[in-house]
Amino acid sequence: MKRSILLFLSCFLLGCSAPAAPCEPFLLDAEPPKYFVILDYGHGGFDCGATGVDTGVLESDLNLLIGERTARALEDRGCFVLRTRTGPDALADTKRDDMARRGAILCSDGADCTVSIHMNKFSDRRVKGPMCYFQAGAADGKALAQCVTDALCAALGRDPRFANPGNNYVTRIPDVPSVLIECGFLSNPEDERKLQDPDYQALLAGAIADGVLAFLSSRPAQ
Ligand SMILES: [Zn+2]
């Protein structure tokens, strides 16, 4: 939360020096954000990630669409959201530099949790549905990933299942609970079609926000 407090302070100071002081009414009425969540939309630009087998849809585009819906769902419920990207481009010209910049954003001071959005692909085209990964050995990350898994299962009418331990760059965030969400399989015909449906994207985004907030609200005040 430290970062959001700084943003409020700088907004206030700018408001004092600017003639129109556009921030003042907002400051008087608004509650401070409840939580600081970092959202990472995987890939982008030259790195499109997986591609849909039937339609050629790009993972990087779906990550942005579903990620932005998730961001707005969290903001509507009182969170401050920092994105690793806000458009279709990568964060740098090479994968190495892109990941370094992504990692620096994910390690921003004061975050309550980080959430990375991706799409899956697998050789067996029957495999479908979302999966959540946490950093193996990270208890907080495991709890976050399980809350998101539970919320997704409830929203989609799937049987309960466990979140998956893993070892991913975007879940190795020191001292911050982190989850990597694979929203569905671009190798499965049903998933590939549904992941491009705005209503299904909204359903996924709402469930991810539900799971993140269930986790954050269950923790003692930081
Ligand atoms: Zn990916």
- Decide if pLDDT at 82 tops 70: yes
The pTM (predicted TM-score) of the whole model is: 0.86
In the block, which residue shows the tokens 């909204």?
202
Whether residue 4 has pLDDT greater than 60: no
Instruction: Compute and round to an integer the Cα radius of gyration of the chain.
Output: 18
Q: How far is the CA of 183 from the centre of ligand 1 (A)?
A: 10
Rounded average pLDDT over 132-157: 98
Residue partners of 57: CB distance under 8 A and separation at least 6: 51, 186, 192, 195, 196
pLDDT, tens only, 23-57? 555 555 667 889 999 999 999 999 999 999 999 99
The CA 140 to ligand 1 mean position distance, Å, reads 23
CA of 94 to the centre of ligand 1 (A): 16
Ligand 1 centroid – CA 50 distance (Å) = 6
For residue range 96-134, list pLDDT tens digits in order.
999 999 999 999 999 999 999 999 999 999 999 999 999
Please give the distance, rounded to the nearest whole angstrom, from the Cα atom of residue 97 to the centre of ligand 1: 16
Residues 162-214: pLDDT tens digits? 999 999 999 999 999 999 999 999 999 999 999 999 999 999 999 999 999 99
* Rounded Cα distance, 203 and 97, in Å: 33
Model pLDDT, residue 220: 80
